Amino acid sequence: MKYLTLALALFFTSLPSFALSKTGRMGLGLTNQPINDIPSLSMKLQQNRYFALGAILGFRNGENNTEYGAGLKIYRVIFEEELLNFFLSATALTLSFEDDQDKLQSGYQLDGTMGAEFHFEGIESIGFSFEFGISANKGPEGRRIETLGNNLVRAGVHFYL
């Protein structure tokens, strides 16, 4: 009887993980995360099961100047489900924007967020994200500390190669 109990305990506690493995995969997509409202390209490279590195780059070229947003992002997966990963992330961006006198100014954005990336069954190569957290930034409205709530398009959509 004790062998049967031990066998059942091992069976139920050692079930394999069915979480979607993206280790070594690169995701390319879009984000609207920079506070200067420039739609940006986003790249995410899953280093291992728990860490991913990302990059954000967007620009808008006008007659008089070029506005941009560029930076890096690091992700830490804290919980996995079959088609869903919960993560913590930190983002550091440098950016430029036009002030009230149409002069180009420089700024920054530092974000700390928690979020999730999910996939639909059958199309696991596309990941949709949402995030929430806090941001310290200097942008068109001056220096601010504010809360964030980034929806699917603002946080990012990635196609994994």
Domains present along the chain, CATH in parentheses: 2-160 (2.40.160.20)
- Compute the distance between CA of residue 94 and CA of residue 57 in angstroms, rounded to an integer: 10
- Compute the distance between CA of residue 134 and CA of residue 148 in angstroms, rounded to an integer: 5
pLDDT above 90: residue 101 = no
pTM of the model: 0.81
The pLDDT, as a whole number, for residue 11 is 45
The pLDDT, as a whole number, for residue 3 is 57
Span 92-97, average pLDDT = 95
Render pLDDT for 19-69 as a digit per residue (tens, 0 to 9): 567 788 899 999 999 998 899 999 999 999 899 999 999 999 887 788 999
